[in-house]
């Protein structure tokens, strides 16, 4: 294994602060990569294909696609128009949706969380429910924003981990409790993605990329929240970090 810490790229959200655009990543994602993953987080500006994605990938040992207040634009998966007031980030879409398949094809470890989970599904040709709680048979999966953050990010429901899956192996058990802070969810799982976990209402909560050469997993919940205080979250980021260190070692010995 490489002696250096692997570098994990994290694509940013693009936000307007006053009249100027800024590129930012939530600190909880950065600290989860640093503390639980044992890796060096590197913020990637969401500048689309202007970044020269193949050149960017040569500098990275892993990629982390995070959650966000914004949603993937429905035109990206043939969905109906969003309701007024829905926050989108077309610059992030233009960056991540091209970056995801290229990274996985290059053997770069990838982890997706919440929006990142949805991005990965869309990048490979899947579709999304825009309002999970309005779908007959599906439960309410979004948070109560009147509660404290510790309550919002606290355990909300159980998920069943698929037998023989990577997450079952990481957890060492078939069910875990997760938080739940999402309005959107997987409607049709993209070809080439394999379900790793489901909620009791049947909603897909995690998947992996079937033919990926290294770690390529996404979860709908938020394991980055106080990751070191949750044994499964810690092990998930450790597994991601280990895959990134393997990638770093391979790069160092070329």
Active-site choice (114, 182, 196, 205): 114
Q: Residue 15 — φ and ψ, nearest 5°? A: -130, 145
Using DSSP, state whether 159 is helix, strand or coil.
Answer: strand
Q: Give dist(CA 103, CA 109) in Å, integer.
A: 8
Active-site choice (73, 205, 224, 246): 224
Task: Name 156's Cβ contacts closer than 8 Å, sequence gap at least 6.
Answer: 141, 143, 177, 178, 179, 180
β pairing state of 40-44 and 62-65: unpaired
User: Is 143 designated active site?
Assistant: no
User: Is 222 designated active site?
Assistant: yes
β pairing state of 185-188 and 127-129: antiparallel
Q: Give dist(CA 74, CA 172) in Å, integer.
A: 37
**DSSP one-letter string for 23-52:** EE--HHHHHIIIIIS--EEEEE---GGGG-
Active-site choice (91, 119, 141, 222): 222
User: Is 224 designated active site?
Assistant: yes
The catalytic residues are 114, 222, 224
């Amino acid at each position: 294994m490489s002696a250096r810490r692997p570098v994990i790229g994290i694509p940013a959200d693009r936000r307007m602060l006053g009249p100027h655009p800024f590129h930012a990543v939530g600190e909880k994602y950065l600290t989860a990569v640093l503390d639980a993953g044992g890796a060096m987080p590197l913020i990637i500006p969401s500048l689309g294909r202007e970044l020269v994605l193949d050149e960017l990938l040569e500098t990275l040992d892993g990629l982390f696609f995070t959650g966000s207040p914004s949603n993937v634009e429905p035109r990206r998966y043939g969905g109906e128009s969003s309701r007024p007031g829905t926050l989108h980030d077309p610059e992030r879409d233009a960056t991540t949706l091209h970056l995801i398949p290229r990274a996985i094809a290059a053997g770069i470890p990838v982890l997706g969380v919440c929006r990142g989970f949805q991005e990965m599904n869309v990048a490979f040709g899947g579709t999304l429910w825009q309002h999970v709680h309005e779908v007959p048979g599906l439960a309410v999966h979004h948070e109560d924003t009147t509660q404290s953050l510790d309550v919002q990010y606290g355990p909300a429901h159980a998920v069943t981990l698929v037998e023989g899956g990577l997450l079952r192996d990481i957890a060492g058990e078939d069910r875990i409790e997760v938080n739940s802070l999402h309005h959107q969810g997987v409607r049709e799982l993209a070809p080439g993605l394999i379900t790793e976990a489901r909620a009791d209402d049947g909603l897909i909560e995690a998947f992996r990329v079937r033919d990926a050469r290294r770690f390529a997993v996404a979860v709908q919940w938020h394991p980055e929240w106080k990751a070191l205080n949750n044994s499964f979250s810690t092990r998930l980021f450790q597994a991601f970090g280990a895959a990134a260190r393997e990638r770093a070692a391979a790069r160092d010995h070329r």
